[in-house]
């Protein structure tokens, strides 16, 4: 382990533990966006920043900006950070790892007396998780001027309050946040770099390459509630040729799409396909041929074109199956979330930094969405560092080894320090 990693270990461990203790729930941690435990992360980060002599600003959405001034303040800043909230009874490191890494870089720069040319800014986003109100990326979308007015009318998953009310209670104005105007001058960001736990098993499955440099963030296309409509009938009395079995039709569609998916992967496409919701009618029974089944679909890829082609293929297959099985497919409107590109220059800097530190890495796509994607789609050059973690995320069993975190932190530190160095130096 390098000298920088060694020096940062105690800071990181105590940061994670302090926040975990504040937000501990029945299982895991709960930090609702704009709630008191997310606020604790912001206050705790502010107190650390004060000791490091950083300037503090809060934008109109409540995102926290902590700045270590550079020697040439006319230059655009290098910015790093992530979100401080969590899902209900979630893990401690989703979001918080990127907050801690960004602060740890500021602390190292301060402690080692390193003065950079550009401003280095830590950015802590509000409410990234959608599980409380159904809207993800609230803080970053508001920052980019891309949060829609209707979206703050969403209601809490359990309590009778709206997102707008919670935002107001925290001291911010939902109307300013949904005005369509960016809340900061995004052209003053030379690069936004987010460190995040991987949330998948790939890095953790490797014994040596446990840091990821992200190649892009997958976009997605969703159908929230579709139906297959057939005909309900007695399971014993109706022979195969007379049936209109909705479940069999859906089963065939999924089996066909699974085979297409496999061959598309073999052809080199980036694609994931999930049918996570399937329900027969409330009156369904084992002795009744199902006349109706509802389902939801999610397809993701780094390429929106791949998603669109796969979606079109699925509609064609559904039509064919409908004819053959004498049922009808009813698809609802698609919900689309654009893929986000990693900036080639930022990615090259991250890879060069990892090589300089002697930290082996994997180049990999991000399957989950992130605040970084929102900024990238608003024109900010973006890059991401993944660190290995265990048991996925969005659950209380989520885990991360401090050694993996520190390797990712060092890649971030080196990237920030060498930001204006030529690649071959």
Least Cα distance to 190 among 86, 64, 343 occurs for: 343
Residue count, binding to Zn ion (CB under 5 A):
2
| Region binding Zn ion by CB under 5 A among candidate stretches 65-73, 95-103, 138-146, 202-210 | 95-103
CB closer to Zn ion out of 95 and 139: 95
Minimum CB separation of residue 194 from Zn ion in Å reads: 9
**Which of 28, 90, 95, 212 contacts Zn ion by CB under 5 A?**
95
Site string for Zn ion, 39-78 (x = CB under 5 A): ----------------------------------------
Minimum CB separation of residue 86 from Zn ion in Å reads: 8
CB closer to Zn ion out of 82 and 108: 82
CB closer to Zn ion out of 93 and 361: 93
Q: Does 291 bind Zn ion (CB under 5 A)?
A: no
| Region binding Zn ion by CB under 5 A among candidate stretches 93-101, 159-167, 261-269, 307-315 | 93-101
Minimum CB separation of residue 189 from Zn ion in Å reads: 20
Site string for Zn ion, 215-254 (x = CB under 5 A): ----------------------------------------
Minimum CB separation of residue 409 from Zn ion in Å reads: 17
Minimum CB separation of residue 3 from Zn ion in Å reads: 29
| Region binding Zn ion by CB under 5 A among candidate stretches 12-20, 91-99, 219-227, 304-312 | 91-99
Q: Does 94 bind Zn ion (CB under 5 A)?
A: yes
| Region binding Zn ion by CB under 5 A among candidate stretches 92-100, 183-191, 204-212, 372-380 | 92-100
Q: What is the 3-state secondary structure (H, E, C) of the chain?
A: CCHHHHHHHHHHHHHHHHHHHHHECCCCECCCCCCHHHHHHHHHHHHHHHHCCCEEEECCCCCEEEEECCCCCCCCEEEEEEECCCCCCECCCCCHHHHHHHHHHHHHHHHCCCCCCCCEEEEEECCCCCCCCCCCCHHHHHHHCCCCHHHHHCECCCCCCEHHHHHHHCCCCHHHHCCCCCCCCHHHEEEEEEEEECCCCCHHHCCCCCEEEEEEECEEEEEEEEEEECECEECCCCCHHHCECHHHHHHHHHHHHHHHHHHHHHCCCCCEEEEEEEEECCCCCCCEECCEEEEEEEEEECCHHHHHHHHHHHHHHHHHHHHHHCCEEECCCCEEECCEECCHHHHHHHHHHHHHHCCCEEEEEECCCCHHHHHHHCCCCEEEEEECCECCCCCCCCECCHHHHHHHHHHHHHHHHCCCCCCCC
Minimum CB separation of residue 196 from Zn ion in Å reads: 6
CB closer to Zn ion out of 95 and 365: 95
CB closer to Zn ion out of 5 and 82: 82
Minimum CB separation of residue 351 from Zn ion in Å reads: 23
Q: Which residues of 130-146 are buried (b: 16+ CB within 10 A; e: fewer)?
A: bbbbebbbbbbbbbbbe
Minimum CB separation of residue 63 from Zn ion in Å reads: 15
Minimum CB separation of residue 92 from Zn ion in Å reads: 12
CB closer to Zn ion out of 119 and 198: 198
Q: Does 38 bind Zn ion (CB under 5 A)?
A: no
Residue 112: CB atoms within 10 Å: 13
C-alpha 104/C-alpha 10 separation (Å) is 11
CB closer to Zn ion out of 88 and 95: 95
CB closer to Zn ion out of 94 and 151: 94
Cβ atoms of residues 103 and 45 within 8 Å: yes
CB closer to Zn ion out of 23 and 306: 23
Minimum CB separation of residue 223 from Zn ion in Å reads: 24
CB closer to Zn ion out of 95 and 291: 95
Measured CA distances, 213 to 16, 86, 125 (Å): 23, 23, 21
Q: Does 85 bind Zn ion (CB under 5 A)?
A: no
Q: By CB under 5 A, name the binding residues for Zn ion.
A: 94-95
């Amino acid at each position: 382990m390098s000298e920088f990693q060694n020096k940062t270990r105690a800071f990181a461990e105590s940061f994670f533990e302090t926040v975990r203790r504040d937000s501990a729930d029945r299982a895991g941690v709960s930090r609702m966006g704009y709630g008191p435990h997310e606020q604790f992360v912001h206050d705790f980060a502010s107190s650390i920043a004060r000791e490091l002599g950083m300037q503090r600003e809060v934008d109109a959405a409540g995102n926290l900006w902590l700045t270590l001034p550079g020697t040439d303040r006319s230059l655009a800043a290098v910015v790093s950070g992530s979100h401080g909230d969590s899902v209900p009874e979630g893990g401690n490191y989703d979001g918080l790892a990127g907050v801690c890494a960004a602060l740890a870089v500021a602390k190292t720069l301060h402690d080692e007396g390193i003065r950079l040319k550009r401003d280095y800014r830590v950015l802590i986003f509000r409410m990234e998780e959608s599980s409380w109100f159904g809207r993800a990326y609230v803080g970053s979308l508001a920052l980019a001027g891309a949060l829609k007015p209707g979206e703050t009318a969403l209601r809490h998953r359990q309590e009778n309050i709206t997102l707008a009310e919670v935002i107001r209670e925290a001291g911010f104005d939902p109307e300013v946040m949904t005005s369509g105007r960016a809340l900061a001058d995004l052209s003053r960001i030379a690069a936004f770099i987010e460190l995040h736990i991987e949330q998948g098993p790939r890095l953790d499955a490797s014994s040596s390459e446990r840091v990821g440099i992200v190649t892009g963030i997958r976009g997605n296309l969703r159908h929230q509630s579709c139906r297959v409509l057939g005909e309900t009938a007695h399971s014993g009395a109706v022979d195969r040729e007379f049936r209109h079995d909705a479940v069999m039709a859906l089963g065939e569609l999924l089996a066909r799409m699974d085979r297409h998916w496999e061959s598309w992967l073999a052809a080199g496409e980036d694609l994931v396909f999930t049918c996570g919701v399937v329900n027969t009618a409330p009156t369904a029974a084992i002795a009744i041929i199902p006349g109706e089944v509802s389902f939801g679909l999610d397809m993701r890829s780094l390429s929106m074109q791949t998603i669109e082609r796969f979606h079109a293929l699925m509609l064609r297959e559904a039509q064919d199956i409908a004819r053959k099985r004498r049922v009808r497919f009813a698809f609802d409107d698609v919900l689309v979330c654009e893929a986000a590109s990693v900036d080639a220059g930022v990615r090259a800097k991250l890879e060069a930094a990892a090589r300089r530190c002697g930290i082996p890495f994997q180049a990999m796509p991000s399957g989950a969405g992130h605040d970084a994607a929102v900024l990238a789609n608003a024109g900010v050059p973006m890059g991401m560092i993944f660190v290995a973690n265990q048991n996925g995320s969005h659950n209380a069993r989520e885990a991360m080894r401090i050694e993996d975190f520190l390797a990712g932190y060092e890649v971030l530190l080196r990237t920030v320090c060498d930001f204006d160095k030529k690649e071959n130096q």
